[in-house]
Structure 1
Amino acid sequence: MIEGYPGRESVRSGDVLTLHVSTTAERFRADFYRVAERLEFAGNTPWFPGGVAPVPPHPDVPGEPASPAADWNWPAFTCAAPERPGLYLAVFVTEPGGAPPEGVRGFGREFFVVRPRPGAESGPILYKKSTFTRHAYNRADNGTGARNSSLYENPVYVRPGGHKVSMRRPGGVDDLSYWDAPFVKWLAEEGYAIDFCTDLDLHEDPELLDRYRLLLSVGHDEYWTEAMRTHAEQFVASGGNIAFFSANTCWWRTHVTDDGTAIVADTDHHVDGVFPHLPATDQWWPPDGAGRPENALTGVSFRNGGMWPGEWPGDRPRGGFAVQHAGHWAFAGTGLRDGADGGPQDFLGAGTPLIGYECDGAAFAFDAAGVARATGADGTPPSFLILGLHVLEPVADYYAMRFHHWNCPPREPEITSPPAATMGVHTVPGGGTVFTAATTDWPTIVGRRMDPQVERVTRNVLDRLGG
């Protein structure tokens, strides 16, 4: 058995990478693979002495052997990070030789990001790996049994503040395998030069985005700090662009603690059946929360969207987005129609599980011509143009999110539109443009080349906003 985690998930090209490892083997090493068109072998560490490290007990739930709040403080081993910037998979091995991994998913491995040195950026596009969300959901399992060590299954509440999650814990790489690896492969095959960063990088560096034209948010991007939000909004206000190929985006405000090794968020999750603090003050949109609706940045919100109620990722209805404004640049070359000429209306992604497993929406109303238009009742900018709509009805297909959990505030009473996945775009006056796909699984459909029209919209967004 072997498992581990990086001391920090991003390093500069050629800098020192720290790995924390526990193993029953006498020795181990880490093999590095760059995630691109394929898993490219990028070197390895020297052999290090092995040893089993303890797992911290849960402070609130007797008998649970793993705490999501504690730094697991396993032995640290240092090595030189790869020189080439990119997204990397570290595979921990205990025997020499052997075949390279057949895929990304699995235990005994972790990911990290190598950032370019200043002035050596690859191009105008920066891909943000949603690491805070990954840590909130990380169960810290190791392939031999479930530890249930996540914010959702065995949360720890610290006072003052909220639920705490350490970023120094082991776990699988399901999120990387499901969303990021297929999409990064597609980007590489299409010839896009991409740099990578983590949530912590965007949180810490107010000048990070100055060196890029387009920021990508991909997959499940639920947890944002005030600094991340501020840096992103300043970027757009100064002419930068963002593409949210994601959903459930910016739902919880989180706070970085412990010198950048943990996050804390006051959410509505219970500890051993008891809700330690309600209302949840770190929800972005309510007045008794952060009071900054996420719509102001993204154009959409999870409170107007929905989620698939079954197993993750599961299968879902395959209706796709009803196309609106087919003449918009986002639809160039797709051949899609919006029905404005009296003909049929097309549906982007029809036949694929594009909508979900979670999706965001904007409050809307249909005009006299039957075109859905954002009302702005939820904080969505007036310039937000709805390009695609998928009404989440009947609720037998989706759990309609009139609120996220039973203990969160209901949607604003002036919002009368049904929950709907709402793809769209808006431009900040005098600033940049924000595109939202409004569904977590957009990068999955693109990365697995399941729909050429969804791919074409993605290229249009990257080319137009990335320059």
Structure 2
Amino acid sequence: MESIRARALTGARVASDRLSRRRWLQIGIAGGSGAAIITSGCLSEDESAGSDDERDGGPNSGEESEESEAVERTLSSENDRDGDDGWKPRVSPSERPEHVEHLIEGYTGETSVLPGDSLEFYVRTDDDWTYRIDVYRLGWYDGDGGRLTTTIPSSGDSRGTDQPIPEPDPETGEVACDWDVTDVLEVPVDWLSGLYLARFVLTSGPEAGTSTTHPFVVRPHPDRDPAVLVQLPLATAQAYNGWGGKSLYDHTSEGEPANVVSHDRPYVNEVTFHLNYAVHLLRFLEQEGYDVAYVCDSDVHRDPSLVENQGVVLSAGHDEYWSRPQRLAFQRAVDAGSNVGFFGANIAYWQVRYENDARSMVCYKHTVEDDPIQDERRTGLFRDVGLPECELLGVQGWGAGLYNFPNFTVQEDAMDHPWMANTGFEPGDEILAVVGPEWDWVRDDCPPPGEYTNFFHYEEGTSDLEIERPADADAIAYNSEAGGTVFSAGTLGYTRAIDPDPDWNRGWPYVRVREYAPSIADPDPRLQEFTRNLLDDFVNSSR
């Protein structure tokens, strides 16, 4: 087996020339009209999105000029457009269901859509109030981090509809709304793949200006063949969501946690609270100009070939809840020689099942014996159903420090690896406050399935911080038998350290981490260069 250290970076790249990287990494798709066709409230006719000058001068609300119809859209040109930071969290996030005020809230009829699809919104607020929906695409956008793509309705406001808050199912605890459709978005055929955020904004009444959010994913256009495919962890965000009084967790449930959670409901908090680790990664990818496209976990569950046929696949952030078809799809990709990166920790930890066309997610976490299915599809820990994480990721966990984050130490044995080139790392250097809030390590009882390099390591017991679940932490890469490479960051904190401007995220746990490690307000340029080397190698050596 070829040593991972012997694999050379291919293709010329000057580290400081970001524009050069964009030129050789991007693939565009043909642009369409870009007009977002929307139906809102009681409207019976389609309305196209407003111009740049509409909705308080909001930039680029979904439309394209006639000139752009003939121009290829690329991620680079998309991120060169005017941004808008209205997507950013506006309140301190809380997972607790008792903190929900139910002033305005909503959800989407699908977790993901294709360009050209229809997306239904279900919004609830007081009958006497009005609202609008601002739809943002998240990316880099010269630091704004998002772009206002459209507003629904394109002029005026929608009249509110008071919709019922359901009781949890007495058997499973599932909270699933059955609300009336209030708004419909015809997704423009030229919208680029990405993570989108719908912000529901009250525009009248005593609480005007109050808003909540809900995410959805636009999958890549069928004609696109992206260099990198990113899986976004909407299942994990939903697992922690306590809206309606139930989640898969004690601390976000009223009474016993549920065994089934539904996507047919709003979120308790600003959704970036649990997606923020993925958002940190996508901001880096899009600033660097990599040719990326996005899907969510249930997309891979429905169509495993999305991953199996892709040369480079990344799992983004806190990607904790997977179905068995998902897990097997990633394993087949590795076995076929794909380059796979796990940019987080606690990944592929719980096995779930999907029901109701993937709108319901089943996971009998702590009552496995009550799961009505007791074969290999039984929910619970993957390691308990014959698929331990270490056999895919090369690491397994989990350690946890809550808001106490130890440091990674650069390993001397990794210094001759090509990914270390021009990073400025020296043996024994530390990456501050990057290990946390959860992390994984190389297990003696389940070593990586191929020859591996350990780049960064934290040794249990060497930190002065109080660690809730003490354990080592490791960031590694191993060679698969098919000739691909698998990288595992080993910590959720990795992606924040490479975000070009990470301090937009001041929620838990970082509000506490900043008190003793103020340097986390800025990225680590050494780790950024390491990640560029890694990804450039992935793209240039992919099957």
TM-score (ref. length: structure 1): 0.77
Query: In the aligned structure 2, how far is the partner of 1:322 from the partner of 1:175?
Result: 32
Look up the match of 2:399.
306
Out of 303, 306, 312, which is 1:208 matched to? 306
Q: Which residue of 2 aligns with 1:136?
A: 239
Q: How far apart are the structure 2 equivalents of 1:68 and 1:454? A: 43
Mapped pair 1:41 → 2:143: no
Show the counterpart of 1:415.
Answer: none
User: Which is worse superposed, 184-193 or 224-233?
Assistant: 184-193
Can you give the 5+ residue segments of structure 2 that lack an aligned partner in the other structure? 1-102, 503-521
* Correspondence for 2:527: 454
Pick aligned residue for 1:445 from 490, 497, 521: 497
How far apart are 1:268 and its partner, in Å?
2.0
SS state of the match for residue 149, structure 2? strand
Among 239, 249, 256, the alignment partner of 2:354 is: 256
Q: Which amino acid aligns with 1:136?
A: A
Which residue of 1 is the match for residue 165 of structure 2? 55
Give a deviation string over 1:209-230, Cα, whole Å, max 9, x none.
2553211112111111110011
Q: Give CA-to-partner distance per residue, 1:337-365, whole Å, 9 cap, x none.
A: 33xxxxxx223x1xx321010001112xx
Note if 1:333 corresponds to 2:422.
yes
Shift of residue 466 of structure 1? 2.3
Root mean square deviation of aligned Cα: 2.9
Structure 2 residue 237 is the aligned partner of structure 1 residue 168: no
- Cα offset for 1:322? 4.4
By percentage of residues, which structure has more helix?
2
| CA 17–68 in structure 1, closer or farther in 2 if over 3 Å, else same | farther
C-alpha distance 155-204 of structure 1, shift in aligned 2 (>3 A): farther
Quote the Cα distance in structure 2 between the aligned partners of 1:242 and 1:261: 27
Give, in whole Å, the separation in 2 of the partners of 1:431 and 1:266.
37
Q: 2:187 aligned with 1:81, yes or no?
A: yes
Equivalent of 2:485 in 433, 437, 440: 433
The CA deviation string for residues 258-290 of structure 1, in whole angstroms up to 9 with x for no partner, is: 2210111121279xxxx968x9962111xxx21
Counterpart AA for 2:196: Y
Report Cα offsets for 1:372-424 as digits up to 9, x if no partner: xxx4x2253142332221023269632236xxxxxxxxxxxxxxxxx311110
- Which of residues 238, 248, 251 is equivalent to 1:151? 248
Instruction: Give the direction of change, closer, same or farther, for the CA distance of 1:218–1:392 in structure 2 (3 Å limit).
Output: farther
- Of all paired residues, the percent bearing the same amino acid is 28
From the superposition, tell whether residues 324 and 138 of structure 1 become closer, same or farther in structure 2 (CA, over 3 Å): farther
TM-score (norm 2): 0.67
Q: Distance in 1 between matches of 2:528 and 2:491?
A: 14
Q: 1:117 to 1:358 in 2, by over 3 A?
A: same
Q: How far off its partner does 1:149 sit?
A: 2.8
Alignment match of 1:230 (pick from 328, 331, 348): 328
The separation in 2 between residues aligned to 1:126 and 1:281, in whole angstroms, is 27
Q: Which AA in structure 2 matches 1:398? A: I
The corresponding residue for 1:29 is: 132
> Partner amino acid for 1:453?
R
Asked if 1:111 is matched to 2:219, the reply is: no
- Mark the CA change 1:451 to 1:241 in structure 2 (over 3 Å): closer, same or farther: same
| 1:15 correspondence with 2:108 | no
Whether contact under 8 Å (2:318, 2:346) holds in the other structure is: yes
Identify the match of residue 362 of structure 1 among 442, 447, 463: 442
Correspondence for 1:144: none
State how 1:63-74 maps to structure 2 within 5 Å: 69-74=174-179
In structure 1, distance between residues paired with 2:478 and 2:497:
23
Would the aligned equivalents of 1:127 and 1:195 in 2 still touch at CA under 8 Å?
yes
Which amino acid is 1:92 matched to? Answer: F
In the alignment of these two chains, the number of paired residues is 393
Residues of 2 paired with 1:210 and 1:265: CA distance? 25
Q: In the TM superposition, what is the alpha-carbon distance from 1:94 to its structure 2 partner? A: 3.4
Q: 2:391 aligns with which of 282, 285, 296?
A: 296
Does the aligned pair in 2 maintain the 1:242–1:434 contact within 8 Å?
yes
Structure 1 contact 317–397 (Cα < 8 Å) conserved? no
Partner of 2:33: none
Mapped partners of 1:382, 1:11: distance in 2: 37
Distance 1:317 1:379 in 2: 23
Q: Which amino acid letter does the alignment assign opposite residue 104 of structure 2? A: I
- Structure 1 residue 199, shift from structure 2 partner: 0.2
SS at 2:110 equivalent: coil
